[in-house]
Structure 1
Amino acid sequence: MQTLKKHSIYALGYLLLIALLGMALRLFQLVELPFDYRFLVHTHSHVALLGWVYTALTTLIYKSYLSNASIHKKYQNLFWFTQATIVGMLLTFPFTGYALFSIIFSTLFLFASYFFMWLFLKYTSEKQKEAHSYKCIRISLCYMAISSIGPWALGIIMNTAGSGSDLYRNAIYFYLHFQYNGWFIIALLGLFLYILEQREINLPQKTFRPFFWMINLGVVLTFGISLLWMKPHFTIYIFSAIGSILQLLAMGVLMKSLYALSEKLKQATTKLFFFLMELVALLFLMKLIFQLIGTIPYFALVISSNIDLIIGYLHWTFLGVISTAILAFLSQFKLIHLTKRTVILYLIGFFLTEALLFYKGLTVWLKTSLATDYLWYLAAASSILLLGIINIFINQFRKTTGN
């Protein structure tokens, strides 16, 4: 347990680091900084996905499914190898961008992630494999492996079609889609079901089966949304819309079942965890609605040319749905200490930055004027988010903390 707590603190360290990098990216438009903006964006995104989320999710999965499998040494060796690749990316991307050494570290990370997937598939018990939660985690790891087709393809595309080609852009979108909507989201759903199962709160098969198939078919079909910037054949819009509707239906099926079990869940978990799960459910529902709106041809065109709406949506998913859920799960598993005060500060910063990002996106779409000091407001909101994350991180080193 102590080892996994340390791993969780390392994950929080990456969250703090990406918050600092995010703050630096905000300040680029206000002051002159001695960095290459594009290289810093690469660093920010890689540490966010591979440092914070990957480290936290694999720690939670190991704690839930593999901690009793007598593979501690293998996992420890893999963990430190993985951290070496992440630190390698952290030390190379800011100075070189996509170049020899950053690509080497990225490639080694992919091999480490494949090995973690192998450990999970090999060492989970037959009893564990019967659980609904296991099926979600297993397919989420499959999405993780599928997403890596994008990075593998980039090398070939750069040497043939070039980095300015549609193929290059689509390979990145392929990777991001199956990371965010496949690996991250489905893994979090699996971990949530695991928490329910440990408290003998089980979804009926008649609920889980349609939920599972609709949510996963939706993951595959909604990749089409990532292609809409190209104005593809109308069938891509239809498939994307079908995928979005399927995921909304899956959410409805799950929520209907959970509503009937809400009292049992409330009694089996902390008030803070229950509140965060309600919030995550609302944020995820909004994400699915945004997703469906994005399949409408007019809005697909508006969004694809509006960087602020795109960043707002990505941050809504990453900081709102994914990161909030991870913090709640780490706290529920007693791997980190989370308080109401730090959570509220984090959420205030999150909602303020989202409001400002979507505000600018709307002004661009409607061609209206932007507030004169908008960039300072955004920097101030980002600083509140950063303070929330700093407080969450510092709390892990306090012997006694209040609520």
Structure 2
Amino acid sequence: MKVKRLWTYPLLFGIIGALLGLILRYAYTGSFSGFPFKNILHSHSHVMLLGFIFNALLVTVWSTFVIEIDKVTYRLFLILQGCVAIFLVAFILQGYAFYSILFSTVHLWGSYLLLLRFWRKLDANNKQQNLIKLGIVFHFLSSLGPYMLGPLMAMEMQNSPWYQQAIFFYLHFQYFGVFLAWMLAVLFHKAEIKLNKIQLLVFTVGLGFLFTHSLDFSFNHWSIQLFGSLGSLGLFGLLLRFVKQFSILKHSYKFLYLGILLIAFLNVLGSIPVIANLAVESRFILIAWLHLIFLGIYTPFIWLSLPKKVHPIIWFCYGLVLFGSEMGLLFPKFISNWTTIPIMWFLFFSYLGIFLCICLVHISTILKISKKNINLNSN
């Protein structure tokens, strides 16, 4: 099975997830009445997290390290895609209910089997693949969060801080565990960086301690800032050591490395109580942070890994509208006064630009893959 053929699935889900995000942004303008906001939000977040980014990073790792995909692994991958398609619709129609929970669970169990098979195909002597293994470990660890939701509901603790923290636990060890580890595995492979045991330990412990930043949303204790500081400083210091190795790579990867350093540095700042409270108290700042990670780091990295090169004009337009959306979220009053456009409409048009860029990149890549498949079949 050729890995390039698998790109179609994450790219399609990326378009659908981005469309749901655009609809949400339009709903914020007040143009809908009786809009099922939470249902669409759940569908959007699950599809972007599992349908787009998880799939795309998995395919990227497969293709970078030339790992064989046998028939069983391929069928498991297709089962995961079917689950994403079903819970995409189920979340919209019913929110968190029987079918959305059922197929989210099947997806989780299916991912266990797929990643275990993936682990067995990794080279035990290749140190660069240790980060792939670490990402798989983080995937299993993150799933403890969803498993805690059932007992908490049974104890009628849905409104307790622990219920929210169980969700945060899963999310943290996905985007600051699985996703980051797999992305760095690919980048370090390109930069010919091999982490020694101490560096790998610093990276692992640092990501674990970073979870304490999520505790800021529910608790106020000095130990949260302490462990958050240790984790963020350890991660930032580790990444900073590789400036020389990344300086010899293409400019696109240099910019991506700088973006990763920015995220790591912002995590250091997030250990300061005054700054941490900004994200806790302002939903706009929280969304800006999440979009910086997903749209500013993971999406560009995925695009750099595609079998079709993204045109420089699209890169420029994407960067421009993403910057505009981040400024709108961080400085809504200033942007509204400067543009004389209501901030919700400004954000909608910014996300419309992001959506169009995603469509251009994903559709053009899908068409290229489809054309190659037709040519191969005809031969």
* TM-score with structure 1 setting the length: 0.85
User: 2:110 aligned with 1:141, yes or no?
Assistant: no
State the secondary structure of the residue aligned to 2:211: helix
**Is 1:9 the counterpart of 2:8 in the alignment?**
yes
**Which of residues 336, 354, 365 is equivalent to 1:385?**
354
Distance in 1 (alpha carbons) for counterparts of 2:213 and 2:296: 20
Superposition pairs of residues 3-402 of structure 1, within 5 angstroms: 3-30=2-29, 31-32=31-32, 35-65=35-65, 67-68=67-68, 71-124=69-122, 128-196=123-191, 202-203=192-193, 208-259=196-247, 262=248, 265=249, 274-330=250-306, 334=307, 336-360=308-332, 373-396=342-365, 397=367
Q: Mark the CA change 1:139 to 1:361 in structure 2 (over 3 Å): closer, same or farther.
A: farther
Q: SS of 1:394's equivalent?
A: helix
* 2:213 partner letter: I
1:157, 1:81 → 2: CA distance?
29
- Give the equivalent residue in structure 2 for 1:269: none
For residues 332 and 266 of structure 2, what CA distance do their matches in structure 1 show? 17
Q: Please, which runs of 5 or more residues in structure 2 have no aligned partner?
A: 373-379
Give the number of aligned pairs: 368
Counterpart residue type for residue 280 of structure 1: L
Higher mean C-alpha deviation, range 17-26 or range 278-287 = 278-287
Q: Do 1:161 and 1:167's aligned partners in 2 also have CA atoms closer than 8 Å?
A: no
Shift, 1:51, TM fit: 0.1
Query: CA 1:343–1:372 in structure 2 vs 1: closer, same or farther (change >3 Å)?
Result: closer
Q: What RMSD in Å do the two structures reach over aligned CA positions?
A: 2.4
Is the 1:132–1:193 Cα contact (8 Å) retained in structure 2?
no
Query: 1:233 & 1:215 partners in 2: Cα distance?
Result: 24
Paired with 1:131 and 1:98, the residues of 2 have a C-alpha distance of 42
Aligned counterparts of 1:194 and 1:312: Cα–Cα separation in 2: 30
1: CA distance between counterparts of 2:331 and 2:157?
35
Residues 360 and 370, structure 1, Cα contact 8 Å, conserved in 2: no
Structure 1 residue 283, shift from structure 2 partner: 1.7
3-state DSSP of counterpart to 1:133: helix
Residues 92/247 of structure 1: CA separation in 2 closer, same or farther (3 Å cut): same
Provide the rounded CA distance (Å) in 2 between the counterparts of 1:158 and 1:275.
49
Kindly state the Cα deviation for residue 228 of structure 1 after the two structures are TM-superposed: 1.4
Residues of 1 paired with 2:22 and 2:322: CA distance? 13
Percent identical pairs in the alignment equals: 26
The 3 A distance-change label for structure 1 pair 394 and 257 is closer
2:72 counterpart SS class: helix
- Residues 389, 217 of structure 1: CA spacing in aligned structure 2 closer, same or farther, 3 A cutoff? same
Equivalent-residue separation in structure 2 for 1:298 and 1:231 (angstroms): 14
- Report SS of the residue matched to 2:331: helix
- The DSSP-based 3-state class of the residue aligned with 1:232 is coil
CA distance in 2, matches of 1:163, 1:370: 42
Q: Give 2:25's aligned amino acid.
A: R
Q: TM-score if structure 2 supplies the norm length? A: 0.90
* Cα shift at 1:362: 8.8
Shift of 1:370: 10
Q: For 1:277 and 1:85, how far apart are their aligned partners in 2?
A: 33
Counterpart Cα distance in 2 of 1:167 and 1:182: 20
Residues 358-379 of structure 1, C-alpha deviations (whole Å, 9 max, x = no match)? 113999xxxx999652111111
* CA offset digits 1:348-398 (Å, max 9, x no partner): 2222111211113999xxxx9996521111111111111111111231225
